[in-house]
Amino acid sequence: MSFEVHKSVFYAKDSTRGECFVIDQRKLHLDLDGNPTKLHEATYIMGPSTIKCLVKNGTAEKPLMLKDYAILKNIRHPNIVSIQNFYDEADLSSHGLMGPFFAWIKSKKGQQGIIESSHISSRPSTTFRQIIIGISKALDCLLQHNIYPSEIRIEDVYVRVKGGITTVKLLVYEAQLATSRNTTASNQNAQRIKLWKDVKGVADKCVELAGLKKQIHPDCDRFLKYIGAGNVKWLEDYPDEWNDDKKACYLKALVASDSKYVRSKLQLIGFTWPDYSDFLNNLITDQVTRLDIKYNILDPYDYLRLCRNLVKHWLSLPSNLREKNDDYAFFLRKMEKWTPRIWCNLYEAIGWPPNLVLYISELQQQQVLIVSVPNERNIKVFGVAAAFDSVRDRFRSRFSELQQFKKTQC
């Protein structure tokens, strides 16, 4: 078998001179279905260490440039193929063995791994969702380093399957380092928009290849359309996969936060009370007569307040009002029927409230509430009997403790 040896010189910290080799076996790397890719299998040798790697060769029509290597060589991210070396023959070497994403999607294994079907609709699986988030994280990492790939195509996306875990890898070999000298703020913004559009294009192509386009669940469709609209953390926490407990927590967090802020966001999206029904009217009447809690039907925030109170105190409602349902999930289904895509609408407009970010975890079989106030260097942890119960009151009563905690952390 013919092979080619690439050699480069490196200097260690103690100024000793060494060499590293990449032995390109001129053997095309096969994807997960056994089909040849455009990458060569090779061996990376540095002193006593030997690592399998892949080599991408430049062509006369599209040569690989040293300047691109200089930009990309120090980028390390779990969703980005790390570029290890560049040679005069215009080859790039990278660690790891993987296969093209589009080939994986079309394979039987890929089809089984990315679709979850029901009688009503299909939706991308958690694996597919994490792949899209991984690509988004990769681009976000590059942009944070002011690195702008020339484009992002589905052909540049690879997957590695190891131990049953599928990890997405973005291969970037042509990029520009944006500085105040070589680009303007408006040009950078235009490039960002274009690159996020590329990522959306990759996601849409995947949906098409997987045969999901005509029957995709509406919430999942909203998730895909949200790519690039908010930050990656918001995308990762998008409500298309929320369970009922998280939906209830979100309601409580909205009402526990700054009502003026939430009202302004609701107004921007034209959020309103749903059309009256006997069921909803009876619930409101009970709140007014039994608990003396009043609601303004012209104020959309009061609708969220009503929903939060009903979910929070569901079991304390008269049985006939609950229609003998002991689980507040029954009421959440009503909310989703009255206002389709309610969680997507609220989340895209508000996200998690910025002035009061709440996280819930289990600690020694007790729920723990962590309250974090942005722009303030303080975090206080305290146990609560039921997460989010009277959060606003608890937050206010703990304010002096938070201030004291802040002093100890500075």
Give the model confidence (pLDDT) of 314-334 as tens digits. 999 988 888 888 899 999 999
Q: What's the pLDDT score for residue 25?
A: 67
Residues of the chain with pLDDT under 70: 1-19, 25, 32-33, 60, 87-98, 107-115, 117-121, 180, 211-214, 355-410
Cα–Cα nearest to 77, from 9, 2, 4, 144: 144
5-96 topology per CATH:
Phosphorylase Kinase; domain 1 (3.30.200)
Long-range contacts of 215-222 (CB under 8 A, 24+ apart): 215/121, 215/122, 216/121, 216/122, 216/123, 216/124, 217/120, 217/121, 217/122, 217/123, 218/121, 218/340, 218/341, 219/123, 219/341, 219/343, 219/344, 220/123, 220/124, 222/341, 222/344, 222/348
Q: What's the pLDDT score for residue 358?
A: 42
Residues 4 and 42: their CA atoms lie apart, in Å, by: 9
Q: What's the pLDDT score for residue 269?
A: 95
Q: What's the pLDDT score for residue 209?
A: 76
Please say whether the beta carbons of 317 and 327 come within 8 A. Answer: no
Q: Is 132 left (phi over 0), alpha (psi -120 to 50) or beta?
A: alpha
Instruction: Return the CATH architecture of domain 100-237.
Output: Orthogonal Bundle (1.10)
Give me the residue spans of the domains in the chain. 5-96, 100-237, 244-350
**To which residue do tokens 């962590």 refer?**
370
Q: What's the pLDDT score for residue 18?
A: 57
Q: What's the pLDDT score for residue 111?
A: 65
Q: What's the pLDDT score for residue 385?
A: 36
Residues 9 and 295: their CA atoms lie apart, in Å, by: 75
Cα–Cα nearest to 131, from 173, 165, 82, 172: 165
* Angle formed at CA 192 by CA 188 and CA 195, multiple of 5 degrees: 135
- CATH number listed for the domain at residues 244-350: 1.20.1440
Q: Is the full-model pTM beyond 0.95? A: no
Residues 177 and 148: their CA atoms lie apart, in Å, by: 6
Q: What's the pLDDT score for residue 14?
A: 44
Cα–Cα nearest to 26, from 44, 39, 7: 39
Burial state string for 168-197 with b = 16 or more CB within 10 A and e = fewer than 16: bbbbbbebbebeeeebeeeebeebeeebbe
Residue 316: DSSP 8-state: G
Q: DSSP string of 151-178?
A: ---GGGEEEEEETTEEEEEE----EEE-
Residues 61 and 63: their CA atoms lie apart, in Å, by: 6
